[in-house]
Structure 1
Amino acid sequence: MEFLNDMALFVEVVKAKGFRGAAEASGVPNSTLSRRISALEKAIGLRLLHRTTRKVELTEAGQIYYERCRRIVEEARIAHEQLGEMLAQPSGVLRASLPVDFSVTYLAPLIAEFARRYPGLTFDFDLTPRRSDLVSEPFDVAIRMGEPENSQLIARPLASLRAQLYASPAYLARSGEPESPADLSNHECLSMLKSGAGTWTLNRDGDMQTVSVGGRFSLNSVGMIRRLATLDMGIILMPEAIVTDDVSSGKLRRILPDWYGAPLPVYAITETRLIPAKTQRFIEFLRERLGSL
């Protein structure tokens, strides 16, 4: 890269017919220009310029070298501009593995906005509960909720979602509304728990309470948990972004509003830090939108 920079400075000196004019055009001090061109001549082993007090003139070798350098510098400039355009308007197929329920409920309108912003992109999305293998499968990125499992992959944080408590009005009318976290142990609680039993840790301004909860259902689907809650089957602890439509429609209502569950991190997972422009733009876009949650 330094050698290419010296070539560009050499072209500037020739175009300006002197070091003073080249210094004004490039912003590089006159003395630095002279030293860099001398170092270039030494590296090549040929004199490129005849220096006089008024101007510089190309030697025969310098003329040949100048023509080659001018083309190389111009091609580098064009390549730089084209790469800039690729970053601004990426194209190709973006292959992503996405969490099912969070994507359908919350990411879908964001993805539509992203697609309108970058019309040169097409999309290949895989929405399944399984954890995709980014090493053996052709995904550019995976969006995951919860702490990353594979330390060999690159995890970029997008957001941290606070879980809150919700239930349907009909369930609360039938079973009563809990007045404290301890009351949850007497309610049907729907969550990703083995055998339908476990604990929830809730926080209110630093006051932490861990509550034993249980219910009739053992589930591995966030979407099913949410759906059962709207069908009056129990209380859920879930990020607002996932239940926002049900809350807006009145199917679910927030309870114990001062209490929150542990934050649920959202990550973009890639196999490597060197990612193409399409993936970079997608991650940046989601971080911008999800960061406000």
Structure 2
Amino acid sequence: MKDDIFLFVNIVQQQSLAKAAAKLSMPAATVSRRLKHLEEQVGYKLIHRSARAFTLSTQGDIFYNAYVDIVEQFEARQQQLEQQMGSLDGPLKVLAPNNISTSLLRPMWSSFIGKYPEIKLDLTLSNETQNLTESRADIALRIGPQTSSALYQKRVGSIKTLLVTSDHYLANNPSPEQLSDLTNHRLIGTHHIAHWQMYNHKTAKQQALRPKFSCLINDVKLITQLVIDGLGIALLPYSEIQHHLEVGKLIRVLPQWQGPVRDIYTLWPSGKLLSNRALCLRDFIEQFLQNELIIQQDAC
């Protein structure tokens, strides 16, 4: 009934069913049918119409005055919302993991802010999963698919995980030659990759490992530093260790094996339209990660 009231107010303002149909991009027959349906619902005729005349009935005049302000306020608000959604000028609240944002995505954030200075970025970094609704964020970045049906999500990239250690560690311990040798080594684990699903990119063999960790830490950066300090072997995202591999602080262990791929998703509350600002960031992240994926494939 609400939609039919909206239609009735537009008919009166246009003083014509045909003009109202044209304004609302609806077939004239649909406008006529819905007006008749509204009149049946309220129990009286609202408009007297003929080929030459268009007049409100007494009840129609009362009905129109009761709803016209509400409809006009709604239309004005809708127009304002469309302008806000379509503009890049304005705030954009984003949630993202701290580790990946300060490593792999650090140049992406710099490029985005530089390219779109009109977007007022409000970026909250945390490795803990934050509630999008409670935080009133427009969009979030997460590692791994989300199970909540209250969220829309789009996969925008992925990161490989690699076994690494340091020369200092191997100077005091034999280099592992096969996966089973890892049981004889100090393994440093992260809560985010507690089980190692390994893949041999040369033979396409897969093997699941449940490593016994000498220590378990929830911060990838600290694990990386511990491995650099010669304290063990770890399975870490390439995004965290790329620079250390390039300068020789870390070295690959069992390089034919790789760990699970960590998929990266952008997500936002279901039922919520993404503003142009949020769409702009989502596409920017996806393009950046596609380029990085090519770099990772070449390096690995």
> Fold-level match, TM-score > 0.5?
yes
Per-residue displacement from partner, 1:150-197 (whole Å, max 9, x unpaired)? 97985846555432223346656775654432343454433238xxxx
Per-residue displacement from partner, 1:98-126 (whole Å, max 9, x unpaired)? 54433321343444455554745353635
Report what 2:226 is aligned to. 228
1:6 maps to 2:7: yes
Report what 2:298 is aligned to. none
Report what 2:56 is aligned to. 59
> SS where residue 101 of structure 1 aligns?
helix
Residues 1:274 and 1:48: Cα distance change in structure 2 (over 3 Å): closer
Give the share of equivalent positions with the same residue, in percent.
Answer: 23
Find the partner of 1:33 among 17, 31, 34: 31
Pairs within 5 Å for 1:143-292: 145=143, 156=153, 158=155, 160-168=158-166, 178-192=176-190, 200-204=196-200, 206-211=204-209, 219-266=217-264, 273=270, 281=278, 284=282, 288=286, 292=290
Size of the aligned set, in residue pairs, is: 279
Q: Name the stretch that deviates more: 135-144 or 174-183.
A: 135-144
Residue 120 of structure 2 aligns to which amino acid in structure 1? L
Tell me how far apart the structure 1 counterparts of residues 73 and 118 of structure 2 sit (CA, whole Å).
Answer: 28
What RMSD over aligned residues (CA atoms) do the two structures have, in Å?
Answer: 4.7
| Alpha-carbon contact 2:151-2:267 (below 8 Å) kept | yes
| Alpha-carbon contact 1:7-1:73 (below 8 Å) kept | no
Residue 230 of structure 1 aligns to which amino acid in structure 2? I
Tell me how far apart the structure 2 counterparts of residues 87 and 160 of structure 1 sit (CA, whole Å).
Answer: 29
State TM-score, norm by structure 2.
Answer: 0.65
> SS where residue 251 of structure 1 aligns?
coil
Please report how far the alpha carbon of residue 57 of structure 1 lies from its aligned counterpart in structure 2 after TM superposition.
1.8
Residues 1:232 and 1:26: Cα distance change in structure 2 (over 3 Å): same
Residue 49 of structure 2 aligns to which amino acid in structure 1? R
Please report how far the alpha carbon of residue 143 of structure 1 lies from its aligned counterpart in structure 2 after TM superposition.
5.5
> SS where residue 104 of structure 2 aligns?
helix
Residue 203 of structure 1 aligns to which amino acid in structure 2? Y
Tell me how far apart the structure 1 counterparts of residues 289 and 238 of structure 2 sit (CA, whole Å).
Answer: 14
Report what 2:103 is aligned to. 105
Please report how far the alpha carbon of residue 238 of structure 1 lies from its aligned counterpart in structure 2 after TM superposition.
1.4
> SS where residue 106 of structure 1 aligns?
coil
Please report how far the alpha carbon of residue 56 of structure 1 lies from its aligned counterpart in structure 2 after TM superposition.
3.9
Per-residue displacement from partner, 1:172-229 (whole Å, max 9, x unpaired)? 6775654432343454433238xxxx97441236522245756765544311111233
State TM-score, norm by structure 1.
Answer: 0.66
> SS where residue 191 of structure 1 aligns?
strand
Residues 1:220 and 1:81: Cα distance change in structure 2 (over 3 Å): same
Residues 1:170 and 1:274: Cα distance change in structure 2 (over 3 Å): same
Per-residue displacement from partner, 1:78-114 (whole Å, max 9, x unpaired)? 3222212333448558374x54433321343444455
Tell me how far apart the structure 2 counterparts of residues 247 and 224 of structure 1 sit (CA, whole Å).
Answer: 16
> SS where residue 103 of structure 2 aligns?
helix
Tell me how far apart the structure 1 counterparts of residues 44 and 97 of structure 2 sit (CA, whole Å).
Answer: 62
Residues 1:118 and 1:175: Cα distance change in structure 2 (over 3 Å): same
Pairs within 5 Å for 1:65-84: 73-84=71-82
Structure 2: gaps spanning 5 or more residues: 294-300
Tell me how far apart the structure 2 counterparts of residues 52 and 136 of structure 1 sit (CA, whole Å).
Answer: 52
| Alpha-carbon contact 1:7-1:69 (below 8 Å) kept | no
Tell me how far apart the structure 2 counterparts of residues 112 and 79 of structure 1 sit (CA, whole Å).
Answer: 34
Per-residue displacement from partner, 1:57-93 (whole Å, max 9, x unpaired)? 2236456766777665544333222212333448558
Structure 1: gaps spanning 5 or more residues: none
1:125 maps to 2:124: yes
Tell me how far apart the structure 2 counterparts of residues 199 and 9 of structure 1 sit (CA, whole Å).
Answer: 62
Residues 1:204 and 1:70: Cα distance change in structure 2 (over 3 Å): same
